[in-house]
Amino acid sequence: MLHPTWFLQRDEKIIANIISVLIIFAIIKLIVMWTRSYSVTTREVTKEQMWNLFADVNNWHTWDDGIEQAAITGPFEQGNHFMLQPKGGPKLKVSLLKTVKNSLFLDVTHFPLAKMYDEHSFEETAGGLKITNTITVKGLLSFVWVKLVAQNIVSALPKDIEKQIQAAKSL
């Protein structure tokens, strides 16, 4: 004969299983997303100059030593894409997810089981133009792409943004 509280024991097991699954999902979310940002404030360039520098994708290789080639067909706007070949790397399709002229753009590169988002923003402040670059990697294999790609990009941001400022000054 069943004990009168048998259903409570069953419900407690179900609740414990649900809690375990939720904890696992929370851990996976922490593991599969990585974000780093770098900002600098300068009075040397305007947001228009920085925008023009990035909108001219076909000439990125002239100021970025890490780029073999970059090519866009059509305007630098949301929905378009460009091809980017890092030095020593394969050609990659980069899609423009969001563009706000003279303010920000967000692009995404697809890797196997991960995506890398790259956001550039230009904000006028009392201290000058605040330039921010944020790299985010999401996906089941994000940890692989962080090690292979994203950490190198982030570690080079201070030097790269300084090169961008110097290149944009002539625009």
CATH number for the domain spanning 143: value is: 3.30.530.20
- So what's the pLDDT on residue 114? 96
**CA triple 39-128-154, angle to 5 deg:** 15
**pLDDT digit string (tens) for 96-154?**
999 999 999 999 999 999 999 999 999 999 999 999 999 999 999 999 999 999 999 99
Q: Does residue 156 sit within a domain?
A: yes
**Predicted TM-score of the model (pTM):** 0.83
> Nearest 5 degrees, angle CA 105-CA 93-CA 47?
20
10 within domain boundaries? no
Q: For residues 40 and 49, give the distance between their C-alpha atoms in angstroms, rounded to a whole number.
A: 15
Number of structural domains (the chain) is: 1
Domain assignment present for residue 125? The answer is yes
Per DSSP (E only), the strands in 73-127 are: 81-86, 92-100, 104-111, 114-125
Asked whether residue 24 is domain-assigned, the answer is: no
**pLDDT of 33-52, one tens digit each?**
999 999 999 999 999 999 99
Q: Is residue 80 part of a domain?
A: yes
What's the rounded Cα separation, in Å, for the pair 71 and 126? 35
Look at residue 4 in the predicted model and tell me its pLDDT. 61
Domain range for 51 is 33-168
- Asked whether 32 and 152 are in contact (CB, 8 A), the reply is no
Residue type (1 letter), 27: I
Q: Give a yes or no: residue 87 inside a domain.
A: yes
Q: Are 76 and 53 in contact (CB under 8 A)?
A: no
